[in-house]
Structure 1
Amino acid sequence: MAQVKQDPRVARKLAIRRKAQRRHSHFYQHCAHWSFNRQPGGEQPPIHWRRERWMLAATALLITLLSGFLIPVWATAMKPVAVPPVEHTLMPLALPKVEAPASKTPAMEEWRSVQVRPGETLADIFQTQGLSLSDLQRVVDSAGDAKTALHSIRPGQEFDFLIGGSSQLQGIRFDKDESTQAIIRLDATSPSMKTVARAVEMREQIAHGVIDDSLFGAANKAGLSNAMVIKLADLFKYDIDFVQDLRVGDSFTVVYDTVYRDGAYLREGDIVAAEFINQGERYTAYRFKRADGSIGWFSEDGRPIQKSFLRIPVDFTRISSPFSAARMHPILGLMRAHKGVDYAAPTGTPIHAAGDGVIKFRGWMNGYGNFVIIEHNSHISTAYGHMSRFANMRVGQHVRQGEVVGFVGMTGLATGPHLHYEFRVDGTQRNPQTVTLPKPEPLPGAQLAQFKNGVVKPQLARLLEIDNNYKLARAESTKRSDD
């Protein structure tokens, strides 16, 4: 019968176990019965508590008791040592008395803002706010030197009202002038008024345009308002007839002020510098403050833009008859000279003095109807015919340029309302549209130097730069369109 080969590692373990049992045989014999396990197979006798078992149970109980005692002691030892609180003694201290403020912070006042509408009076505004005319009278009586502003209100102007709970007027705010606000308070025993300065600043704007249809159309494209267009035309009206002389391709450049108050736009200001090119002729205007404080506009050579004479003394719709050596008279049917210019205009249109002078004739003259002659100096006089009525003036009275001398009509030999205007040199009629008008005197020497160095030089540089930029942009645009 073949033997089964045993694993060397198992044989070595068995040999070590047998050797240990032989060496410690007395221990195994003495303690072999300590096990609580029952041997398999057959019934085992019940366990008997002998000395060894009592020793094992006592050891386990001792370990349990020690664990229950040592763990709490260790946990208590790990607790931080409690520091007894420090006792503080409170000592009374005398402090100065602080009185409560006499009044509370005033509540925010609610002012009601009202804007003046066209045709509205101050009385209308007070009534729409539920206020009486006696309230208005109290305000006027308390206005002091701001009373003028209440008598000349304008559309768009603002008034602020402070009205109490019982509809009692407590205060009113309004502009005394552009840079000052007046505040009237009526909620005290006696009314009071104070003025508050408002921050006003000027900002310059620049506009450039080329006429392709009309002056207003070109100006509006350039961003100018109609009011600014009228200011521009008024500057150059002494040199340019804006009805007859404008051509396509004429251009203008304007530097003007805009007015801001408290950081908000308020209105357009005056023209600072302007250039107008009409039929190739260049005209300029620069604003300058004279030594006496008055402000005027001057050409580059320092002469006033305002000429000694107006080229046209009336706002008209068309020239109904030009200056002519021979024309067919519309009423007489005869060929005769027309020694003036007829400007058609509605009846009642104001007629202005062409220059400073003295009234030499005022009355009826055959053919001319109501007629006025103004003598300006020993050589020049102007005449105005067909007036519907005269202005309030008399012969010998001195008049200034632009002053109204009468109103358009059709008295005398006339087929429609118009002004017949004559310009006479040494008693001989000259064509008002082409006659050479005398140049005004330039600024005095010191002011002229200040004007040229302080005004013309910097503004002229700006105008030329704008013109060059426009020409460059136009050339590039033309080049792109050709490509």
Structure 2
Amino acid sequence: MQNWIPKRHAMRKSPAGKFPRRHLALAASTLIALGLALLLLPGENAEAKRTAIPLDLELTPSRVSTAPEVAPVVTEQAWKEIPVKNGDSLSAIFSRADLSPQDLHELVSSSAKAKALNKIRPGQKLSFKISDDGQLEAMSFQIDKLNSIVFERGVTGFTTTKMTETPEIRQRVASATITSSLYRAAQDAGVSQGIIMELANIFGGVLDFVYDVRKDDYFIVIYEELYLNGELLSSGQILAAQYFNRGKSFEAYRYINKQGEVDYFSEAGESMRKAFLRAPLDFTRISSGFNPKRLHPVFKTVRPHRGVDYAAPRGTPVYAAGDGRVADAGYSKANGNYVFIKHGEAYMTKYLHLHKRAVSKGDRVRQRETIGWVGSTGYATGPHLHYEFLLNGVHRNPATIVKQLPAPKKVAAGAMPEFKAQIAGMQLQLRTYAAQRNYTGVDAG
């Protein structure tokens, strides 16, 4: 017989059936409410985010964003550099840069400074800034390592800006003992050609580098060197120099007076620049001296040689021995290409057998200005300069007449204290260096 079970106890057949349905619904509602409350409670990250918001930021609908803002990306247009090659023209360079003839025309006609582009040389550089659509936006022309011109396209065309780098100036001291020539000794000491020529120019009024230079002479020179970003660009000015010759010491100091004029003076304030150079060209040898009874090399007869012949390679520069005016310049069968210079009323110098002339009749010339180049025109057996010196129309020996010429100018008496103060540092450097090299036993010249 089947057991009888009352209906009110039928739900006990399963664990879930232990509670009435209304109790289960109440429990489910409580659990859902508790879960929502936990989700809405702020955690550590939420607190960090809240404190990161600026206090003065108003959270209005227009300021609220669901995604972070991304800044626009700006790309800098690259410069395209093109070096100038042998035989290059501006049109060829613009073509290599994929620019049109119109771009070239607009740029070169933009300003007077653009005319510098007509003198481009191999080794210089042009840099182009070109837009994505192929338009020229800017161009930079490097004249040399210190100077450049920048052209930038504006609303009305190209604007031009001159850019100049400022080099670092360093002092250098060099010295050498003469074994064969000043030029060779200075080269061996690492002195640039420009400084060598300037050294000869400074002492050219007191020393004849053909007659006077002897083996075992020596010199000290203090000069500037120009550097840019650690790279040597060039030599600058000679600041002081000392030359030891035949037991005498000759010193020269660069001095700038109150008027801004620059010259070189001895320690006593006497200008190193004399009225006439001792020789009108550099680093040569005498092939024939002043001789009233010389045997002429072409005609083989005794004829007066009223000047000095300087043997030198063809093309060697010939300088004006002093300030003056060109009295005559031309060509004759005997003299070849010649130049005559009048120096005031009393003096005249003559230069014969030139390869080419650099001046014309009536030109004003300055001492050591190039007036021509050594050649062998006219009655000449080989390249040389025939140089004559006339005083009141009478030929004089160029090698000795300079000792009889007027004294050079001096620093004004009132400026001597300033002069002494300006050269004091250079004097100390020269003497310290000479002592270190044991350059002693000479008398001041």
> Do these two structures clear the TM 0.5 threshold for a shared fold by scoring above it?
yes
Alpha-carbon RMSD across the aligned residues, in angstroms, is 4.0
> CA offset at residue 410 of structure 1?
4.4
Alignment of 1:195-234 (within 5 A): 195-196=162-163, 198-234=165-201
> What secondary structure does 1:309 align onto?
coil
CA–CA distance in 1 between the matches of 2:82 and 2:128? 8
1:126-148 CA distance string (max 9 Å, x none): 34434444433333233x46435
Decide which of 188, 210, 216 is 1:249's aligned counterpart.
216
The residue aligned with 1:26 is none
The residue aligned with 1:291 is 258
The residue aligned with 2:241 is 274
The residue aligned with 2:419 is 451
CA–CA distance in 2 between the matches of 1:171 and 1:268? 33
CA–CA distance in 1 between the matches of 2:411 and 2:247? 27
Question: Counterpart amino acid of 1:424?
Answer: L
CA–CA distance in 2 between the matches of 1:230 and 1:119? 32
1:238 aligns with 2:205: yes
Deviates further, 316-325 or 187-196: 187-196
The structure-2 alpha-carbon separation of the partners of 1:184 and 1:412, relative to structure 1 and needing over 3 Å to count, comes to: closer
C-alpha contact 2:124 2:143 (8 A) present in aligned 1: no
> CA offset at residue 447 of structure 1?
3.7
The structure-2 alpha-carbon separation of the partners of 1:283 and 1:195, relative to structure 1 and needing over 3 Å to count, comes to: same
Alignment of 1:77-476 (within 5 A): 94-95=58-59, 104=72, 106-117=74-85, 120-142=88-110, 144=111, 146-147=113-114, 149-165=116-132, 167-175=134-142, 181-186=148-153, 190-196=157-163, 198-261=165-228, 264-314=231-281, 317-345=284-312, 350-362=317-329, 367-368=334-335, 371-387=338-354, 391-394=358-361, 398-406=364-372, 408-435=374-401, 436=403, 437-454=405-422, 456-471=423-438
> CA offset at residue 322 of structure 1?
1.2
C-alpha contact 1:169 1:187 (8 A) present in aligned 2: no
C-alpha contact 1:410 1:418 (8 A) present in aligned 2: yes
The structure-2 alpha-carbon separation of the partners of 1:313 and 1:120, relative to structure 1 and needing over 3 Å to count, comes to: farther
> CA offset at residue 340 of structure 1?
0.7
User: TM-score, normalized by length of structure 1?
Assistant: 0.67
C-alpha contact 2:124 2:144 (8 A) present in aligned 1: no
CA–CA distance in 2 between the matches of 1:349 and 1:316? 10
> CA offset at residue 424 of structure 1?
1.8
Q: How many residues align?
A: 387
Question: Counterpart amino acid of 1:94?
Answer: E
The structure-2 alpha-carbon separation of the partners of 1:192 and 1:305, relative to structure 1 and needing over 3 Å to count, comes to: same
CA–CA distance in 2 between the matches of 1:324 and 1:98? 105
CA–CA distance in 1 between the matches of 2:166 and 2:328? 52
C-alpha contact 1:199 1:262 (8 A) present in aligned 2: no
Q: Percent sequence identity over matched residues? A: 37
C-alpha contact 2:351 2:387 (8 A) present in aligned 1: yes
The structure-2 alpha-carbon separation of the partners of 1:404 and 1:209, relative to structure 1 and needing over 3 Å to count, comes to: closer
The structure-2 alpha-carbon separation of the partners of 1:283 and 1:318, relative to structure 1 and needing over 3 Å to count, comes to: same
The structure-2 alpha-carbon separation of the partners of 1:135 and 1:298, relative to structure 1 and needing over 3 Å to count, comes to: farther
Question: Counterpart amino acid of 1:418?
Answer: H
CA–CA distance in 2 between the matches of 1:227 and 1:204? 16
Larger Rg: 1
CA–CA distance in 1 between the matches of 2:212 and 2:193? 20
C-alpha contact 1:258 1:268 (8 A) present in aligned 2: yes
1:444-480 CA distance string (max 9 Å, x none): 33444322211x211010011111111299xxxxxxx
Structure with bigger RCO (C-alpha 8 Å, 6+ apart):
2
CA–CA distance in 2 between the matches of 1:93 and 1:361? 91
1:263-292 CA distance string (max 9 Å, x none): 554322221212222333322222222333
The structure-2 alpha-carbon separation of the partners of 1:131 and 1:252, relative to structure 1 and needing over 3 Å to count, comes to: farther
1:275-323 CA distance string (max 9 Å, x none): 2223333222222223333333333233333322122224575432111
The structure-2 alpha-carbon separation of the partners of 1:122 and 1:287, relative to structure 1 and needing over 3 Å to count, comes to: farther
The structure-2 alpha-carbon separation of the partners of 1:137 and 1:233, relative to structure 1 and needing over 3 Å to count, comes to: farther
Question: Counterpart amino acid of 1:235?
Answer: I
Deviates further, 112-121 or 98-107: 98-107
C-alpha contact 1:368 1:386 (8 A) present in aligned 2: yes
User: TM-score, normalized by length of structure 2?
Assistant: 0.72
CA–CA distance in 2 between the matches of 1:125 and 1:439? 57
Structure 2: unaligned runs, 5 residues or longer:
1-36, 441-445
C-alpha contact 1:149 1:175 (8 A) present in aligned 2: no
CA–CA distance in 2 between the matches of 1:243 and 1:152? 39
> CA offset at residue 431 of structure 1?
1.9
C-alpha contact 2:209 2:282 (8 A) present in aligned 1: no
